[in-house]
Amino acid sequence: MDFDANLPQHLERHLAAFLTEAGADIRAGEPAFGSGVDALTRFVLGGGKRLRPTFAWWAWRGAGGDPGGPDTEGVLRAVASLELVQACALIHDDLIDSSDSRRGRPTVHVSHAREHRAHGWLGAPETFGMAAAVLLGDLALAWADDMFAGAPLPPATLAAAHPAWRAMRTEVLAGQYLDVRTQAVGDTTPEAALRVCRLKTAAYTVQRPLHLGAALAGADEARIAALHEFGSDLGVAFQLRDDLLGVFGDPSVTGKPAGDDLREGKRTLLVALGLQMAEDPEQRKLIADAIGADLAQDEVDTVRRTLTEVGAVDAVEVQITALTSTALTALERAHLAEPAAARLAGLAETATQRVF
Amino acid sequence: MDFDANLPQHLERHLAAFLTEAGADIRAGEPAFGSGVDALTRFVLGGGKRLRPTFAWWAWRGAGGDPGGPDTEGVLRAVASLELVQACALIHDDLIDSSDSRRGRPTVHVSHAREHRAHGWLGAPETFGMAAAVLLGDLALAWADDMFAGAPLPPATLAAAHPAWRAMRTEVLAGQYLDVRTQAVGDTTPEAALRVCRLKTAAYTVQRPLHLGAALAGADEARIAALHEFGSDLGVAFQLRDDLLGVFGDPSVTGKPAGDDLREGKRTLLVALGLQMAEDPEQRKLIADAIGADLAQDEVDTVRRTLTEVGAVDAVEVQITALTSTALTALERAHLAEPAAARLAGLAETATQRVF
């Protein structure tokens, strides 16, 4: 039972137990609901880096949480519930972005549309797929709350983490709403991309999970503030690395086709910087036209070369290095206990380091 | 401050306060998020019968809740949060059903698609409308939990209501998922329609709100069980009345075009009974063809006449009368304090009585 060493297994144990228990009553009476619960269960247990609960766990450990103490199982359950929020975010995001695959498998709306088509059911397969994705995402979000609120922890412990829980869910939805709006109005400035990134990635993926874990350990304001700074800079650095991977990443590592972010029309900070830094109008046009275009491999190569030539790739690398460095300084100010400080520093390195 | 007499105003006071407070931090930094919060606020405060919090309130009062006591504002906030769950359910349901109007106004996905089109933004207006509806429904669901969990009540009081809160959200989503699946597979039996109705209307609209309110007052198992029976029968009766209104209702009362349930292809118990009771194959075909068809007024009239002729309308009326009667008997067994017992009986009459 080494929680630190086998964290993903412990998180998945709690997720599997909750997913079995949460739908049991209705499944007993309504077997057809089972196919929905099964689809959600496969999605949640079918992969993912468990990044958010991992940040939360190490913040809890670093702020004094003792795996030998009475709160451990409650904390594992509370932080594992972040994966259900993430399931909702991914299922709904994939629908909004019309993404066909996720983790090398068909997305929820696509797999349901295929099931509909294979059975020759009534109505449009795409409408059925959309409906299933909306409802299973909703179920994940409702169950996230049930899993968090039902964690076996003293009421005061859970209440201390509530501000982080509240803020996290509002921030990710606000970030996604801003993202959709920013893309619609065609705001291609780096500032707009950074604002979306601060809510959608930094706050949701790093800051609030750290805040939540630290609050579960009763951390004081000063420590939470230091973790916020660490999370803010690390979160942006992490998104910038993801931006680079989305354009330059190896499909066998990312699980997505090469240059997929371009095809999906993502307004990343990388692309925004490329547009801003391109002095040659032709280079600017080449980048602008690539966003949301159905690019062939050689066209992806051309865009990659252009983003590199205009200096956007270097600029992003410089920012990643600078943000990772300020993040690590903030982490020191949080004065976390070991091994948490070293593990969080390691996570910061891993999540931001060059992999190609 | 007569809570019993002015319940809707008190519920709306809490909803308005919460909606202002919940988005305040992010709106301050991100004014663009404001348009989303404003759209959700208009939707929530823009109408509705407040049926679910009203059932919850009277169950609380009937189980001994004292409006002069310390819990009143906390209970109002907790039960008002049901309107945010309902906002999510309606916004997502309207998207799934491609409904254009709700309460005489454009639905959320339609109004956002129009905004997109009016500004000539990038991408497809319908995709933007879909994205906004998905995300604002999610926000309503996340905020429902925040509003409920943040109600100023003793932890034990709120914890007692948690089983009802959990069951209600899972049941409505299971009911919607079953509804979508039942329609897709073309199951037109009354049994299938009844199963959807038991989850989507009876459990979600009546049973669980009553359970939640009674639990907030510390009701015992026997009283909650009696309220469950009352809610189950009343909920089905209520849906049956709604089925009749959806086909026979006056547009000036329902706010929807005449025969709208037929056009939307709803597999109601009324239609299922019509199909089952029609002995003449032509009458059966006429009903079957009407589901999901773009009917003219005279065609709606023909379907109405046919549903009446095959006996489905009478059968539904008989069931409504019988269910309302057994519901009222169960209500007596709950031994609620006055004026709650009389008010709930009155709600049962109003919600199920013939209005045309």
Distance from the Cα of A292 to chain B's closest Cα (Å) equals 10
Predicted confidence (pLDDT) at residue A241 exceeds the cutoff of 70? yes
Q: Is B285 on the interface with A (CB under 8 A)?
A: no
Q: Is B232 on the interface with A (CB under 8 A)?
A: no
Please name every residue paired with A106 in a beta bridge, in sequence order, or none if there are none.
A101
Give yes or no for a contact between A75 and A151, defined as CB atoms under 8 angstroms apart. Answer: yes
Which pLDDT belongs to residue A90? 97
Average pLDDT, chain A: 93
Best of A136, A180, A185 to substitute, by most chain B Cβ atoms within 10 angstroms, is A180
CATH (one of 3.40.30.10, 3.30.50.10, 2.70.98.10, 1.10.600.10) for A157-356? 1.10.600.10
Here the tokens at position B281 are: 């194959």
- Which whole number is the average pLDDT over A61-71? 97
Predicted confidence (pLDDT) at residue A321 exceeds the cutoff of 80? yes
Which pLDDT belongs to residue B29? 80
Give yes or no for a contact between A82 and A52, defined as CB atoms under 8 angstroms apart. Answer: yes
Residues A18-30 pLDDT 10s: 999 998 888 888 8
For residue B184, the chain A residue with the least C-alpha distance is A122
Predicted confidence (pLDDT) at residue A293 exceeds the cutoff of 90? no
**Cis previous bond, A339, omega within 30:** yes
Give yes or no for a contact between B174 and B203, defined as CB atoms under 8 angstroms apart. Answer: no
Q: Confidence band (pLDDT; 50, 70, 90) for A257?
A: confident
Domain edges within chain A:
1-47+82-150, 157-356
Amino acid letter, A64: G
Predicted confidence (pLDDT) at residue A356 exceeds the cutoff of 60? no
The partner residue sitting opposite B96, judged by closest CB among A92, A116, A134, is A134
Please name every residue paired with A105 in a beta bridge, in sequence order, or none if there are none.
A102
Determine what percent of chain A is predicted with pLDDT higher than 90: 81
Give yes or no for a contact between A147 and A80, defined as CB atoms under 8 angstroms apart. Answer: yes
Q: What is the CATH number of domain B159-356?
A: 1.10.600.10
Give yes or no for a contact between B335 and B223, defined as CB atoms under 8 angstroms apart. Answer: yes
- Which whole number is the average pLDDT over A41-52? 93
Q: Confidence band (pLDDT; 50, 70, 90) for A63?
A: very high
Least Cα distance to B39 among A135, A181, A138, A266 occurs for A181
Predicted confidence (pLDDT) at residue A164 exceeds the cutoff of 60? yes
Predicted confidence (pLDDT) at residue A190 exceeds the cutoff of 80? yes
Here the tokens at position B162 are: 């948690």
Instruction: Count the alpha carbons within 13 Å of B133 in the hemisphere toward its beta carbon.
Output: 33
| Burial class, B7, CB count within 10 angstroms (exposed 0-12 / middle 13-18 / buried 19+) | buried
Which pLDDT belongs to residue A155? 92
Q: Confidence band (pLDDT; 50, 70, 90) for A264?
A: confident
HEC readout, A171-233: HHHHHHHHHHHHHHHCCCCHHHHHHHHHHHHHHHHHHHHHHHHHHHCCCCHHHHHHHHHHHHH
Q: Is A177 on the interface with B (CB under 8 A)?
A: yes
Please name every residue paired with B102 in a beta bridge, in sequence order, or none if there are none.
B105
- Which whole number is the average pLDDT over A271-288? 94
pLDDT along chain B (356 residues), means of 10: 92 97 86 91 93 97 97 98 98 94 91 96 95 98 97 96 97 95 91 92 95 98 97 95 90 76 86 94 93 88 95 95 96 96 94 75
Amino acid letter, A55: F
Give yes or no for a contact between B220 and B317, defined as CB atoms under 8 angstroms apart. Answer: no
The partner residue sitting opposite B92, judged by closest CB among A35, A134, A145, is A134
Residues B216-260 pLDDT 10s: 999 999 999 999 999 999 999 999 999 999 899 888 777 777 788
Residues A70-94 pLDDT 10s: 999 999 999 999 999 999 999 999 9
Q: Confidence band (pLDDT; 50, 70, 90) for A266?
A: confident
Residues A212-232 pLDDT 10s: 999 999 999 999 999 999 999
Predicted confidence (pLDDT) at residue A292 exceeds the cutoff of 90? no
Tell me how far CA of residue A289 lies from CA of A136, A229, A309, B316, in angstroms.
Answer: 35, 36, 17, 60
Residues B279-327 pLDDT 10s: 999 999 999 999 888 888 899 999 999 999 999 999 999 999 999 999 9
- CA-CA distance, B146 to A165, in Å (whole number)? 9
- H or E, element range at B104: none
Q: Is A123 on the interface with B (CB under 8 A)?
A: yes
The partner residue sitting opposite A32, judged by closest CB among B33, B35, B178, is B178
Please name every residue paired with B106 in a beta bridge, in sequence order, or none if there are none.
B101
- CA-CA distance, A50 to A54, in Å (whole number)? 6
- CA-CA distance, A176 to A174, in Å (whole number)? 5
- CA-CA distance, B136 to A330, in Å (whole number)? 35
Tell me whether residues B26 and A170 touch, CB distance under 8 A: yes
Q: Is A22 on the interface with B (CB under 8 A)?
A: yes
Which pLDDT belongs to residue A26? 83
Give B289's contacts (C-beta < 8 A, 6+ positions apart).
none
Give B128's contacts (C-beta < 8 A, 6+ positions apart).
A180, A184, B112, B113, B116, B121
Tell me whether residues B142 and A139 touch, CB distance under 8 A: no
Q: Which residue has the tokens 């159905």?
A: A294
Q: Is B137 on the interface with A (CB under 8 A)?
A: yes
- CA-CA distance, A271 to A243, in Å (whole number)? 8
Predicted confidence (pLDDT) at residue A47 exceeds the cutoff of 90? no
Best of B148, B170, B211, B232 to substitute, by most chain A Cβ atoms within 10 angstroms, is B170
Which pLDDT belongs to residue B267? 83
Determine what percent of chain B is predicted with pLDDT higher than 90: 81
Here the tokens at position B184 are: 């897709």
Which pLDDT belongs to residue A27? 86
Which pLDDT belongs to residue B1? 65
For residue A120, the chain B residue with the least C-alpha distance is B185
- CA-CA distance, A283 to A78, in Å (whole number)? 48
